């Protein structure tokens, strides 16, 4: 089976295309959103909601928000072992794969995985690596806003419209401008910020709450509680004009009321950053805000009122209804999977996408009588329809020179030092004393937005041996092989026990958050769960789980109203 996966910073989803429709697949807790959090507890891998609760009571056992470190060397320590972001992502992917297999009753081997449109080469390669470590054949990466547009466009196969997808997730922000015409969907431009999302708003609010109470916002012990309160208050403000926070944190009794105006003030620097990609995408698409027919909001963070208000004001319209901001990307990824597998139900659907970055090499320029190196020479401009290839010819400068060497860069800055260095290309050429040796270099952005490079030496017609040096932040083949072994050795927490594990983790988190008389109360609940687990009566256990969750809901609601 071929599935679509939305591997999010905060939440991940899986979907499959069946009977002419994409549908979401639930996890063992019956939910379609699986928090992108992993934990290792008693030597066992725990993924999703339970891991998110473990992160609150025992942060050292869990890892979250690691999508933000894709394409870097950052390591996370879990259960005494160091993991990099693709390995942690692979844990999520393999749990999703297992959920899909359990739901569909057959093996799942192939997947389309969505990535932020504004993910660069390194970040895309990291997602590819994660797929391999999870034992998935990643047939394609699809840009998240493109996927959302595909899910939306499937229902709008008549007529013509220009749509703008505004996608603010937990950690990334993407804008895409598309044209839809009778089932043909063309992305005209994409822009974004790979380090801006709802979690930054939570962080800003947590800092504000701490400062108001004269607490240290960076205190590692207080952080889980502060972030939880901030997250609850942020979400409450999406539907209510104000939110009241009452809780015991760091030995202090917090009692604060947050208004929407205050929230907007506190997050103003973040809101200001929304304009940059929006303006650029419109300008690259050569459209004014008034020429956009539909505004599609995607990503959980577009539920925030200041964000909705900003998008609406800027595009002078209300967002379309009927698009679930959490689900659209996964549904679109499943449609793309069906397109790759040539599903007959999608014969009339065509989707083209663009690359969000300019690709180029370094060159030297003459200034006065001297040459200065380090200038960026674009080869493929950003927002070119992919796949795309461009050829450039380079020649030796010295007689007898046997090697040509230049750097490859991605970005928009005039000097290469400010762009992303993708590596050095080294090409061997025959020693030629009489004339300059020439090589033809073909640069290709493939359908996943990944770079391929081919080199031909013109004098011999041979494909030259070419070396792109390993990029900092990229996983080597050896590292991927090692990660595969590490992954195989990990014991996965049994699926059938997911509900009990989740409840237990939630009780532990409540205990960690509570103080004073609330603590024995939580301990009492833990004992009741343990007794029921010993008694092994499935029906009684089921009822008890519901009761305890309801009690915890009330307990948490007491903190933020």
Name the site residues for ligand ADP (rule: CB under 6 A): 8-11, 169-172, 197-199, 202, 231, 234-235, 238, 299-301, 303-304, 326
Q: Which residues contact 550 (CB under 8 A, 6 or more apart)?
A: none
> Interacting stretch for Mg ion, rule CB under 5 A, among 105-113, 125-133, 163-171, 411-419?
163-171
For residue 369, indicate whether it is catalytic. no
With CB under 5 to 8 Å by kind, the binding choice for 396 among ligand ADP, Mg ion, none is none
**Cα–Cα distance measured from residue 16 to residue 100, given in angstroms and rounded to the nearest whole number:** 8
What's the closest the beta carbon of residue 437 comes to ligand ADP, in angstroms?
Answer: 49
Q: Choose between 163 and 307: whose C-beta lies nearer to ligand ADP.
A: 307
> Interacting stretch for Mg ion, rule CB under 5 A, among 167-175, 195-203, 317-325, 542-550?
167-175
What's the closest the beta carbon of residue 5 comes to ligand ADP, in angstroms?
Answer: 12
With CB under 5 to 8 Å by kind, the binding choice for 145 among ligand ADP, Mg ion, none is none
Pick one of 4, 8, 153, 332: the residue that binds Mg ion (CB under 5 A).
8
Q: Choose between 328 and 346: whose C-beta lies nearer to Mg ion.
A: 328
If one asks whether residue 197 binds Mg ion (CB under 5 A), the answer comes out as no
For 418, other C-beta atoms within 10 Å of its C-beta total 12
If one asks whether residue 169 binds Mg ion (CB under 5 A), the answer comes out as yes
If one asks whether residue 332 binds Mg ion (CB under 5 A), the answer comes out as no
For residue 279, indicate whether it is catalytic. no
**Cα–Cα distance measured from residue 353 to residue 184, given in angstroms and rounded to the nearest whole number:** 11
Specify the residue for token string 């043909």.
Answer: 184
431 bridge partner residues: none
Q: Which residue among 53, 87, 99, 144 is the active-site one? A: 144
What's the closest the beta carbon of residue 116 comes to ligand ADP, in angstroms?
Answer: 8
If one asks whether residue 171 binds Mg ion (CB under 5 A), the answer comes out as no
Specify the residue for token string 């916002």.
Answer: 217
For residue 144, indicate whether it is catalytic. yes
**Cα–Cα distance measured from residue 221 to residue 60, given in angstroms and rounded to the nearest whole number:** 11
45 bridge partner residues: 40, 492
What's the closest the beta carbon of residue 3 comes to Mg ion, in angstroms?
Answer: 16
Q: Which residues contact 490 (CB under 8 A, 6 or more apart)?
A: 40, 45, 91
Nearest CA to 145 among 294, 253, 361? Answer: 294
Binding mask 420-449 for Mg ion (x = CB under 5 A): ------------------------------
Specify the residue for token string 């997730």.
Answer: 169
Specify the residue for token string 């998935």.
Answer: 136
**Cα–Cα distance measured from residue 38 to residue 26, given in angstroms and rounded to the nearest whole number:** 18
**Cα–Cα distance measured from residue 228 to residue 46, given in angstroms and rounded to the nearest whole number:** 20
What's the closest the beta carbon of residue 451 comes to ligand ADP, in angstroms?
Answer: 25
Instruction: Provide φ and ψ at 234, rounded to 5°.
Output: -60, -50
If one asks whether residue 198 binds Mg ion (CB under 5 A), the answer comes out as no
What's the closest the beta carbon of residue 514 comes to ligand ADP, in angstroms?
Answer: 23
For residue 167, indicate whether it is catalytic. yes
Q: 3-class SS at 386? A: strand
∠ at Cα 409 (179, 171), nearest 5°?
Answer: 60
In the complex, the residues that contact Mg ion under the rule CB under 5 A are 8, 169
Active site residues: 6, 67, 144, 167
């Amino acid at each position: 089976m071929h599935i679509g996966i939305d591997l999010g910073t905060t939440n991940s989803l899986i979907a499959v295309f069946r009977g002419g429709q994409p549908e979401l697949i639930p996890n063992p807790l019956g939910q379609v959103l699986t928090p992108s959090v992993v934990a290792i507890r008693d030597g066992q891998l725990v993924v999703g909601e339970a891991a998110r609760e473990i992160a609150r009571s025992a942060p050292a056992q869990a890892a979250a928000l690691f999508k933000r470190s894709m394409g870097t060397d950052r390591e996370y320590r879990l259960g005494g072992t160091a993991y990099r972001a693709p390995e942690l992502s692979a844990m999520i992917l393999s749990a999703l794969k297992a959920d899909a297999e359990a739901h569909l009753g057959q093996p799942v081997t192939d997947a389309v995985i969505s990535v932020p449109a504004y993910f660069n080469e390194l970040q895309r390669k990291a997602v590819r690596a994660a797929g391999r470590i999870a034992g998935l054949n990643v047939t394609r990466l699809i840009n998240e806003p493109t996927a959302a547009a595909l899910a939306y466009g499937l229902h709008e196969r008549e007529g013509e419209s220009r749509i703008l997808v505004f996608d603010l997730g937990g950690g990334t922000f993407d804008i895409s401008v598309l044209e839809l015409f009778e089932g043909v969907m063309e992305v005209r431009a994409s822009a974004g910020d790979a380090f801006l999302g709802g979690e930054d708003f939570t962080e800003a609010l947590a800092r504000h709450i701490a400062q108001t109470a004269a607490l240290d916002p960076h205190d590692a012990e207080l952080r889980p509680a502060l972030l939880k309160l901030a997250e609850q208050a942020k979400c409450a403000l999406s539907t209510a004009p104000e939110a009241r926070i009452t809780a015991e944190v760091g030995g202090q009794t917090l009692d604060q009321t947050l208004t929407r105006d205050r929230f907007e003030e506190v997050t103003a620097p973040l809101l200001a950053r929304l304009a940059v990609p929006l303006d650029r995408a419109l300008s690259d698409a050569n459209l004014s805000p008034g020429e956009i027919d539909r505004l599609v909001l995607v990503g959980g963070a577009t539920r925030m009122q200041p964000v909705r208000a900003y998008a609406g004001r800027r595009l002078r319209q209300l967002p379309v209804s009927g698009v679930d901001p959490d689900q659209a990307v996964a549904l679109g990824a499943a449609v793309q999977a069906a397109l790759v597998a040539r599903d007959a139900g999608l014969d009339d659907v065509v989707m083209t996408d663009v690359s969000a970055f300019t690709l180029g090499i370094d060159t030297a320029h003459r200034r006065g009588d001297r040459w200065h190196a380090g200038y960026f020479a674009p080869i493929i401009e950003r927002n070119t329809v992919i796949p795309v290839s461009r050829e450039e010819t380079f020649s030796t400068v010295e007689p007898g020179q046997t090697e040509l060497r230049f750097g490859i860069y991605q970005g928009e800055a005039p000097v290469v030092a400010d762009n992303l260095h993708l590596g050095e290309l080294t090409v061997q050429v025959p020693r030629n004393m009489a004339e300059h040796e020439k090589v033809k270099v073909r640069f290709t952005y493939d359908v996943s937005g990944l770079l391929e490079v081919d080199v031909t030496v013109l004098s011999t017609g041979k494909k030259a041996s070419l070396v792109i040096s390993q990029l900092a932040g990229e996983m080597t083949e050896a590292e991927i092989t090692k990660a595969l072994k590490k992954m195989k050795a990990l014991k996965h927490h049994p699926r059938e026990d997911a509900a009990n594990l989740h409840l237990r983790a939630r009780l532990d988190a409540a205990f960690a958050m509570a103080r004073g008389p609330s603590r024995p109360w939580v301990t009492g609940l833990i004992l009741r769960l343990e007794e029921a687990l010993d008694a092994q009566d499935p029906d009684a256990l089921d009822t008890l789980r519901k009761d305890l969750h309801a009690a915890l809901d009330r307990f948490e609601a007491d903190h933020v109203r």
